[in-house]
Amino acid sequence: MNILLIGSGGREHALAWKIAQSDRCEKLFAAPGNAGMAGCAALIPLDAADHRSVAGFCADNDIGLVVVGPEAPLVAGLTDDLEAAGLKVFGPSKAAARLEGSKDFTKTLCDECNIPTASSRTFDELAPALEHIRQHGAPIVVKADGLAAGKGVTVAMSTEEASAAVVECFGGKHGAAGTRVVIEECLVGEEASVFALSDGERVVLLDSAQDHKRAHDGDMGPNTGGMGAYSPAPVMAPPLMAETSQAIIEPAIAGLAARGTPFKGVLYAGLMITAAGPKLIEFNVRFGDPEAQVLMMRLKSDIVALMDACAGGTLGQAVVEWRNEVALCVVMAANGYPGSYRRGTPISGLEGLDAEDLKVFHAATAVEDGHLVANGGRVLGVTALGASVAEAQARAYQAVDRIDWPDGFCRRDIGWQAVAREHRAAG
C-alpha cells in the first residue's frame, strides 16, 4: 500500500526508516519530512493543519494508511477528518488524544479508572494557584495543561521556583497551553516510559525506554523535548511491565472505550517507579522522541502490519518481536537549545556512519546549496545498538565525535543510570 507519514522530526525519520523496510509499503510519502527522510520517502510540502488538503492528497495518491507522528495534529482532530473521508489512520481521535492535549483530562480519567498517579489540583486563575503552592511547599510540580512541546513542566525545588513557573504560565509563556495549570505532588523514584498499541479494545504491550529530559549532564539545566534515550529500561523488569499494563495502560484504554472515545494507536505512559510501584506521570498519544529512535532500532516485527491492525481494529493477539540488543540514542542539539539558537549552521562528517548497528536519524535538518544544515533545536539522533547499555553508549559517542558541527552540543552521559546499574551487577 501507499503510506503517508505526517511529521518532520527524529521520531518521524525513525518511523519512516522502519516503515520503508516493510513489504507492505509500496511507496512512502512524508509531509513535510526532513533532509534525512529523503532517503526513504518522497517529501511532500503538505500542511498538516490543512485537513482538507491532506485528505485530497491521500485521495489523489491512493494512500492506504496515514501515520500521524506528532501530537499536535492528533489533538487538532486530523484523524477524525481523514477517517470521515474514508481513510485509514494510525493515531487516535481528537477525543482520545485529550490524554495528551489536557493534563487535567488525564487526571480526571485516572480518578475514574483508579490509575495510580500523583495527587493534583487544576487552576484557572493565578491567585489560588499561588496560595496552593504556599500551603503545600516544595518540591512540587507545575504543568501547563495543554501542549507545550515538552517544555511546559517545571519540577520546582522551591516555592519561589514553583510560583515563578505558575506566573509564567498565566503570563502567556506557553500560549493557550498555559491558560490552565495543573499542580501536583512531586513523585520520587526512577523515571521510565512504557509503550503499548491499541485498536480501541485490545492492548498489545511494546517495550520500555528511558528518556533524559534535562539539557545538560547530571540531569541539570532546563527541561527539553528529550536529549537522549535507551531501550529497554533495566528498571522495567517483566513483573513491573505486567503491573504497568494491568494498573495503568489497560484501565486507560478501557476507560476511553467506556466513554465512547476508543483509543487507536500507540499509547506512551511516562512513569515514576516509586517505592509503592509504578505511578503515571503523563500519557502521550504518539511515539516519543527520542524514544521512537531506540524502539525502531530494536523492533524486528513489521511496523506497518502492526499500525494497519491498530487502525483497522484487528490487532488481536499480535506478537511483537524485538532484537536482544540495547539501543541508545544521543541527541545533538543547536547551541542555546531549548532557548534561542541559530539556524542554518553547517553540519558535516555523517558520511559512512550508518551501519547495521548504527543509524543517524535526522530531526531539524535541511539542505541549503547542497549542504546539510541545522534547521531547529534538536537536530540529530545518533542511535547505536550494543550487547549492553555501556557498549551501545560507547558506539553512539564514537559516532558523535566524528560529526563536525561546531554550533551543536549534546549530553555526554546518556544512559548513566543503566551503565551504573551494569557496573554494580558486574561486581
CATH number of the CATH domain containing 284: 3.30.470.20
pLDDT score, position 117: 97
Q: What is the pLDDT of residues 115-171, one digit of tens each?
A: 999 999 999 999 999 999 999 999 999 999 999 877 788 899 999 999 999 999 999
Query: Nearest-CA neighbor of 203 among 266, 160, 127, 275?
Result: 266
Query: Nearest-CA neighbor of 116 among 337, 272, 228?
Result: 272
Distance from C-alpha of 407 to C-alpha of 423, rounded to nearest angstrom: 34
Q: Do 195 and 151 have their domain in common?
A: no
* DSSP state for residue 117 in the 8-state scheme: B
- Is 399 among the domain residues? yes
Q: What is the CATH number of the domain that holds 140?
A: 3.30.1490.20
Distance from C-alpha of 248 to C-alpha of 114, rounded to nearest angstrom: 9
Q: What is the pLDDT of residues 172-193, one digit of tens each?
A: 999 998 999 999 999 999 999 9
Q: Do 64 and 159 have their domain in common?
A: no
Give the end of a domain, one of 312, 346, 366: 312
Average confidence (pLDDT) over 332-361:
95
Q: Do 305 and 194 have their domain in common?
A: yes
pLDDT score, position 91: 98
Q: Do 208 and 290 have their domain in common?
A: yes
pLDDT score, position 157: 93
Q: Do 349 and 414 have their domain in common?
A: yes
Per-residue pLDDT band for 223 (boundaries 50, 70, 90) equals: confident
Q: Between the CA of residue 359 and those of 180, 281, 329, what are the distances in Å?
A: 40, 30, 9
Give the end of a domain, one of 267, 290, 312: 312
Longest dimension (CA), the chain: 61
> Is the pLDDT assigned to residue 317 strictly greater than 80?
no
Q: Do 30 and 63 have their domain in common?
A: yes
pLDDT score, position 152: 86
- Is 115 among the domain residues? no
- Is 103 among the domain residues? no
Q: Between the CA of residue 109 and those of 99, 114, 254, what are the distances in Å?
A: 9, 8, 10
Q: Do 194 and 308 have their domain in common?
A: yes
- Is 100 among the domain residues? no
Query: Nearest-CA neighbor of 99 among 217, 264, 276?
Result: 264
Distance from C-alpha of 385 to C-alpha of 392, rounded to nearest angstrom: 5
* DSSP state for residue 119 in the 8-state scheme: -
Average confidence (pLDDT) over 301-313:
96
- Is 145 among the domain residues? yes
Q: What is the pLDDT of residues 61-119, one digit of tens each?
A: 999 999 999 999 999 999 999 999 999 999 999 999 999 999 999 999 999 999 999 99
Distance from C-alpha of 390 to C-alpha of 131, rounded to nearest angstrom: 46
> What's the half-sphere exposure (Cβ side, CA atoms, 13 Å) at 366?
10
Distance from C-alpha of 162 to C-alpha of 156, rounded to nearest angstrom: 5
pLDDT score, position 96: 98
Q: Do 277 and 330 have their domain in common?
A: no
Query: 3-class SS at 243?
Result: helix
Q: What is the CATH number of the domain that holds 14?
A: 3.40.50.20
Q: What is the pTM of this model?
A: 0.95
pLDDT score, position 128: 93
pLDDT score, position 423: 87
Q: Do 247 and 304 have their domain in common?
A: yes
Whether the bond into 116 is cis, omega within 30 of 0:
no
Give the end of a domain, one of 312, 340, 360: 312
Per the structure, the count of domains in the chain is 4
- SS3 assignment for 107-144: HHHHHHHCCCECCEEEECCHHHHHHHHHHHCCCEEEEE
Q: What is the pLDDT of residues 203-222, one digit of tens each?
A: 999 999 999 999 999 999 98
Query: DSSP string of 294-309?
Result: HHHHHB-S-HHHHHHH
Q: Do 340 and 301 have their domain in common?
A: no
Q: What is the pLDDT of residues 348-397, one digit of tens each?
A: 999 989 999 999 999 999 999 999 999 999 999 999 999 999 999 999 99
- Is 118 among the domain residues? no
Query: 3-class SS at 351?
Result: coil
Cell reading at 275: 517505592
Distance from C-alpha of 270 to C-alpha of 274, rounded to nearest angstrom: 13
Q: What is the pLDDT of residues 225-257, one digit of tens each?
A: 899 999 999 999 999 999 999 999 999 999 999
Q: Do 33 and 133 have their domain in common?
A: no
Distance from C-alpha of 37 to C-alpha of 67, rounded to nearest angstrom: 15
Per DSSP, what are the bridge partners of residue 220? Answer: 216
pLDDT score, position 222: 87
Q: Which domain holds residue 404?
A: 326-426
Q: Do 54 and 28 have their domain in common?
A: yes
- Is 106 among the domain residues? no
Please report which helix (H) or strand (E) contains residue 325, including its range.
Answer: none
- Is 108 among the domain residues? no
Q: What is the pLDDT of residues 11-28, one digit of tens each?
A: 999 999 999 999 999 999
